[in-house]
Amino acid sequence: PVMMSSTHSRRMKYMFLGVLVLQTTSLVLIMRYSRTLTGDGSRYLTSSAVVSAEVIKIIICTLLVLMEKNFSVRAMNQLLTEEILSKPLETMKLAIPAGIYTLQNNLLYVALSNLDATTYQVTYQLKILTTALFSVSMLGKRLVSNQWLSLLLLLAGVTLVQWPTASVGDSEEKVLSASFQFVGLMAVLTACIFSGFAGVYFEKILKEAKQSLWVRNVQLGLFGFVFSTLGMMVYDGERVAQSGMFQGYNKITCTVVVLQALGGLVVALVMKYADNILKGFATSLSIIVSMLISYFLLGDFNPTGMFFSGAALVIAATFLYGYEHKPASGSAEKV
Ligand code: C5P
């Protein structure tokens, strides 16, 4: 394997992080919107949306493997057979993150069906901490002091950003009953733990053996597909039998599904070029981006000085964490 030049990989790192910020922002806003549309009660089944996203992911990743093999179908088949069927033990390892991601993906819909987008996003920031703790304990990653400091800055920044929204609030927020809030919060908190664990586990697999990222993702996607289909059968089996798995799908549903599938791919790229913790910072930036969108496009958000200081802290923390984070350091070297 050729070592990438550090400038090149640094550029890739920030590019994928930027893409992730945009993807997260649009996914959260559109997913929340899709769950609050008042319709004729024919809302789509979220368990089915998770399955659809897995299918799209598998298709895209297979195409990417095909591209890596210069569009030779035979070479692709050979590689996939070798990597997936002939190494059942290696393949089985991916069942763990796939199972957890399936639970997590379903939980996110529960969360966004019960919480407003901002509360959801801010609370989901706790995954940076769970991820850091899992990275330290499972990958043996060492964080230097400026990285710990940046985690603290990040939390402080997120709190400041959240402050005005919490007190001003939107009418929607006030209507939500406490029990919805509780269910939503529990869902996000559990998702934080799952996200941290699954992400670090996948990063470990990715960095341990030199295997194509896309082959890994096909493996992950296949398990994800099996688990999410099981989930759909268990929770919505009857409704699927009655009106089919695509009931209630509309253009917005399809957008959510595609964005989620693409998100999985960007997440994988970020894990490869950067790491899981840095990935979390991208989500923080996305909070700020969605607030700016609310301000400039929707006109329903009044940023205060508090917001601006918080935003500045979050951005500073992101660069502080990434700064001097040598591409060759960390997990890959440990094993
Ligand atoms: O919130 P978090 O960053 O943990 O979300 C990870 C998301 O990325 C999940 O939806 C998961 O299904 C997806 N993913 C993926 N492929 C990977 C890693 C994560 O599709 N290799």
ipTM: 0.93
Residues 6+ apart with CB under 8 A from 102: 50, 224, 227, 228, 231
Alpha helices in the chain (DSSP H): 6-36, 46-68, 73-80, 88-93, 95-114, 117-124, 126-138, 145-168, 171-175, 178-208, 213-243, 251-273, 276-293, 305-322, 331-334
Q: At 154, which amino acid appears?
A: L
Q: What's the rounded Cα separation, in Å, for the pair 13 and 274? A: 5
The Å distance, Cα 101 to ligand 1 centre, comes to 7
Cβ count near 89 (within 10 Å): 6
Closest atom of ligand 1 to 195 CA is 4
Q: What's the rounded Cα separation, in Å, for the pair 279 and 259? A: 17
The DSSP symbol for 264 reads H
pLDDT at residue 41 in the model:
46
Evaluate whether 106 touches 50 at the Cβ level (below 8 Å).
yes
Q: Is 126 in the pocket of ligand 1 (CB under 6 A)?
A: no
Q: What's the rounded Cα separation, in Å, for the pair 29 and 98? A: 25
pLDDT at residue 281 in the model:
80
Q: What's the rounded Cα separation, in Å, for the pair 235 and 251? A: 24
Q: What's the rounded Cα separation, in Å, for the pair 326 and 333? A: 12
pLDDT at residue 334 in the model:
36
| Helix, coil or strand: residue 247 | coil
pLDDT at residue 38 in the model:
64
Evaluate whether 135 touches 277 at the Cβ level (below 8 Å).
yes
The Å distance, Cα 206 to ligand 1 centre, comes to 13
pLDDT at residue 330 in the model:
45
The Å distance, Cα 194 to ligand 1 centre, comes to 10
Closest atom of ligand 1 to 279 CA is 3
Q: Model's pTM, two decimal places?
A: 0.81
Q: Is 157 in the pocket of ligand 1 (CB under 6 A)?
A: no
Closest atom of ligand 1 to 54 CA is 20
How long, in residues, is the chain?
335
The Å distance, Cα 264 to ligand 1 centre, comes to 5
Query: Within the chain, which residues score under 50 in pLDDT?
Result: 1-2, 41-42, 164, 166-169, 325, 328-335
pLDDT in tens, 18-64: 999 999 889 888 887 887 776 654 488 999 999 999 999 999 999 99
